[in-house]
Structure 1
Amino acid sequence: MKHVSLIGKFLTLMSFFGIFVVATAFYSSNSIRTLDSEYGGLLQQESLATLAIARANRYMQTGHAAAGDLLVSRTDEENASNLAAFEKAKSSFGGWMDKAMAALPANAKLAPIKAEGLSVLNDACGPVVQAAAQATDEAAVLASQEAFMRDCKPKFAAVTEKLTVVTDEVMTAANQESENLSASAKTTIYATFGAVIGGLALVLVAGFFLIRAWLARPIQHLQRTMLTLANGDLSALVAGADRRDEVGSMAKALQVFKDNALRSKEMEHEAELNRTTQEADRVRNAESERQRSEAMAEATNGLAEGLKRLSAGDLTFQLDRAFAADFEGLRADFNDSVAKLRDTLHSVANATNAIDGGSRELSQSAGDLSKRTEQQAASLEETAAALDQITANVSTSTSRTEEARSMAIEANQSAAQSGAVVAKAVDAMQRIEQSSSQISNIIGVIDEIAFQTNLLALNAGVEAARAGEAGKGFAVVAQEVRELAQRSAQAAKEIKDLIRNSASEVKNGVELVSATGTALQVIQNHVVAINSQLDAIATSAKEQSVGLSEVNVAVNQMDQVTQQNAAMVEEATAASAALAQEAQR
């Protein structure tokens, strides 16, 4: 592995761990999938079978109850209803038993119980139920009841007991299988934990020894070699340079350092030889430099004297004493420069007089321009302030218009809500009117009943009078009933009149509410129109505000430019004045 990089070694180690993790995950997922399949089978078989058997038992009890109800019913409707319930219980019992047998095909007890239950419902109780449904007299009913108690009822208990036993057995088996699945799940969890912990420990131990062999030992050897080289012992051998990993790269780099150190020692020896040679050359060059320095000092002193005379204003000075051959050109150049400087200063004096006159005129013009620019800047500043005020006013108008538009929208919404409320009120008034009409009809019926009661009481009084002494008490009661009927009729008449008046008032109220709704609709239309106008005004105000803002920005920019121009004119005036003063000097 010495030719594999550190990343390759790390990936190799991690691949071992990854393979172990994948194997552990495969084992866990396979175990969980098996448990899930077995638990799904438990739900699809035992649980479904238990539910089907319980419902079959319930329909067996329902058939028992329907047969009992059929024995005590006396009307055709009750007989038909109970017979239909019995038939439904019989068919449902067979269907749920089929589902139970489909869920548990290995259970041999379900088919005999189904056959026995259907035999009870069809053979033992079927004729009794049909006879009870056709019984019309007491004798037939009693005969069917005796047949039910003798031939039918005792057999229900046996079938129900068997269904209960089978249900308990299936539930017991389901519970046992659920416990087995729970134990298997725990075993899988423990095995997974153990495998993960063991694998992690194995990977850590293997990683420790592999890293020690692949990295720690080679790096420690390189460390010792580095310390030896650092102490100045360049005879130490650098091991590991033949490796192709990062450790090999470090060893190669260390070998380069060693080779460079060896070359450095050789170069130091060569440098010592060069220093000896350079010292002899230095002595010879120092003598030549001394002679050159004396010649340079003579030339420098002459130039210094000439510059001193120039600084005092003496432009007629010339260097007459000859310099060394190397500096003779410098003396000639100095004399030529002094002559040219003298001629140039004479020309500058003439030009300065001309500049003085022009500077005076320029200063006066710049002063006039500065005054006019300041006046223009003041005017633009006033214009900008006025535009700022106008812009603020237009912005305020826009805000007020937006507020008015919002208030108009709210008024429109309020009007719409009021219209909806009025519509509901109209609807309520109409329902009240309909209720009043219905109450009036009911009062009419009460009036008719009172009239008929009055007639009956009158007839009862006539019959009581015919009965003589025996009918006096009855005649008194008939008279009271007649008076009560008359009072009821009078009260019904008064209530009917009141309801008629109420109906008239409700009708008037409906008309008034309808008129109110129409008026609110007109108001809403006006508010919509006002809202449209305010919307147009707000749009126009926004456009005006935007335009004025742009104009205001332009004026402010002009104001700033004018102020900058004024400042520049003032600077130009000051510069012209300074130039005139310099020209005078």
Structure 2
Amino acid sequence: MLKNLKISTKIIGTVVGVSLTGLALSGFAATQMSLIDANYSDMVTSRDTAIVKLARAGRNVSEASYSAYKTIAYEGASAEAKTASVARDDAIAKATPFLEDGKAAFPFASAQFLALEEILKKVDETSKRAVDLGLSNNDDAARAFLISMDTASADFAKGYQSLRDELLASTAAESDGLSATTWSTITMLLGGTFAAMLLGIGGALLVSSKGITGPLNRLSQHMSELASGRIDIEIEGQDRRDEVGGMAKAV
């Protein structure tokens, strides 16, 4: 096949082959890096933020419990008690969407988030009853609900801290995996580039020896023999369609 191609076509074909190999390697690397970037972006903008919100939910439960106690510590009609009641409502209201965001960011931990939501409901119910009784100066009855609230708050703290540690470990493991994938892609790209370079050099040498320099050397030898007086030799390459074939026919 090489003998029927022009020399320029042979050279261009070799260059195109090497270029296509490089293009394929670049496309693969770009795809891998795009996936890694997307995963990192999701981890930073969604998952890390969700972990922070989980911690904020834990703080809100503590604030709600503290506010419930303040309504009993102060006289029910006082500004301090009323402010504490509003603070409790606000803390509970903010905690719920924090848990919802966490559940959306970590679907595999949805069961744990649902369990925390159930505990949060208990904190809400018991603290609300305690606050209502405290505002009515019915402190003795309020204390009974504070005990239940303390139990639920402790369960929430234990649950969210355990879940937080689990999510942090999961995120760290994923980050390590992405780093490993990055280095694997880099190594593969460098190895592929080196292999493509060797393939290109080998291909160029093969095309050159089989399709250009080899036939030219043989033709040169025949010309030397003709110049020395031999006329009984067969000129090789007359059936070729490239420049070497044209020279062979001319000889």
Could you tell me which of 147, 151, 157 is aligned with 1:150?
A: 147
Q: Which amino acid aligns with 2:177?
A: N
Name which one, 1 or 2, has greater alpha-carbon Rg. Answer: 1
| Aligned residue number for residue 242 of structure 2 | 245
> What is the CA-CA distance between 1:213 and the residue it aligns to?
0.8
Q: 1 CA distance for matches of 2:161 and 2:58?
A: 8
1:212-361 equivalence runs, <5 A: 212-228=209-225, 233=229, 235=231, 239-251=236-248, 255=251
Q: Which amino acid aligns with 2:92?
A: K
**Larger RCO: Structure 1 or Structure 2 (Cα < 8 Å, ≥ 6 residues apart)?**
2
Query: Aligned pair 1:111/2:114, yes or no?
Result: yes
Q: Is the 8 A contact 1:222 1:251 kept in 2?
A: yes
> What is the CA-CA distance between 1:2 and the residue it aligns to?
1.6
Count of paired positions: 247
| Aligned residue number for residue 177 of structure 1 | 174
Tell me the SS of whatever aligns to 2:208.
helix
TM-score (ref. length: structure 1): 0.38
Q: Is the 8 A contact 1:46 1:171 kept in 2?
A: no
CA offset digits 1:229-248 (Å, max 9, x no partner):
6x564847654455332333
Q: Is the 8 A contact 2:130 2:146 kept in 1?
A: no
Q: Is the 8 A contact 1:44 1:103 kept in 2?
A: no
1:107-506 equivalence runs, <5 A: 107=109, 108-122=111-125, 124-135=126-137, 140=138, 143=140, 146-147=143-144, 150-228=147-225, 233=229, 235=231, 239-251=236-248, 255=251
Q: Specify every segment of 5 or more residues in structure 2 that has no aligned partner in the other structure, as ranges.
A: none
> What is the CA-CA distance between 1:119 and the residue it aligns to?
0.9
TM-score (ref. length: structure 2): 0.83
Q: Which amino acid aligns with 1:99?
A: D
Tell me the SS of whatever aligns to 1:2.
helix
| Aligned residue number for residue 93 of structure 2 | 91
Name the Cα RMSD after superposition. Answer: 2.8
| Aligned residue number for residue 442 of structure 1 | none
| Aligned residue number for residue 65 of structure 2 | 64
Q: 1 CA distance for matches of 2:7 and 2:70?
A: 90
> What is the CA-CA distance between 1:40 and the residue it aligns to?
4.5
Q: Which amino acid aligns with 2:240?
A: R
Q: Matched residues, percent identical?
A: 20
Q: 1 CA distance for matches of 2:8 and 2:69?
A: 87
Q: Which runs of 4+ in 1 moved over 6 A?
A: none
Q: 2 CA distance for matches of 1:67 and 1:150?
A: 11
CA offset digits 1:444-466 (Å, max 9, x no partner):
xxxxxxxxxxxxxxxxxxxxxxx
> What is the CA-CA distance between 1:225 and the residue it aligns to?
4.2
Q: 2 CA distance for matches of 1:59 and 1:201?
A: 63
| Aligned residue number for residue 10 of structure 2 | 9
1:22-101 equivalence runs, <5 A: 22-43=23-44, 46-74=47-75, 76-101=78-103
Q: 2 CA distance for matches of 1:4 and 1:97?
A: 70
Tell me the SS of whatever aligns to 1:111.
helix
Q: 1 CA distance for matches of 2:101 and 2:18?
A: 50
Q: 2 CA distance for matches of 1:44 and 1:110?
A: 19
Q: Is the 8 A contact 2:133 2:142 kept in 1?
A: no
Q: 1 CA distance for matches of 2:198 and 2:212?
A: 20
Q: 2 CA distance for matches of 1:126 and 1:194?
A: 65
Q: Which amino acid aligns with 1:170?
A: L
